[in-house]
Amino acid sequence: MHPFDAEKPPQLAVLLGYAGLVPFVGGALGIWVIPMGWRPFVLAALLDFAAVILAFMGAIHWGLAMRAEETDENAKLQLGLSVIPPLLGWAALAGGLPMGLSLPIFLFAFIGLYLADMHAVRVGLAPQWYPALRTPLTLVVCLSLLVAWASVLIR
């Protein structure tokens, strides 16, 4: 296993993390170049993928909490934080909200998830290399959601 106190993330995690950005970047940029009739489909696909990733990332926090002692208050907090991102993603999708409202909810959820990631590192639940992986990934995800949101607001 990759050392918990390593400064750099495992190469496979980096490769898979960056591969996961393809739907975000492709969706956000695609909205600007495809015919107008396809925009709702691309926006919906982008938000569907974002919801899946929020659930995946929330599950990571569940796993981080599971490896701690039962009495660890930080682990209990992390366990609670693990369910918030997927619930926000689900609410944004299932609530039938307009895209102009759903996109900022997703943006807020990813920023909150990043803060939970950094909290997990600070309290020793997540590895020291985690910020080196999460920071650039979160930045690209948030920029992609902002680009998509701008397309909804402008067009």
The domain segmentation of the chain, as residue ranges, is 23-152
DSSP3 helix / strand / coil % (the chain, rounded to 5)? 80, 0, 20
Phi, psi angles (nearest 5°) of residue 15: -60, -45
Report which of residues 139 and 77 the model is more confident about: 139
pTM recorded for the entire structure: 0.93
Mean pLDDT over the full length of the chain: 93
Question: How much is the pLDDT for 91?
Answer: 94
Confidence band for 2, pLDDT divided at 50, 70 and 90: confident
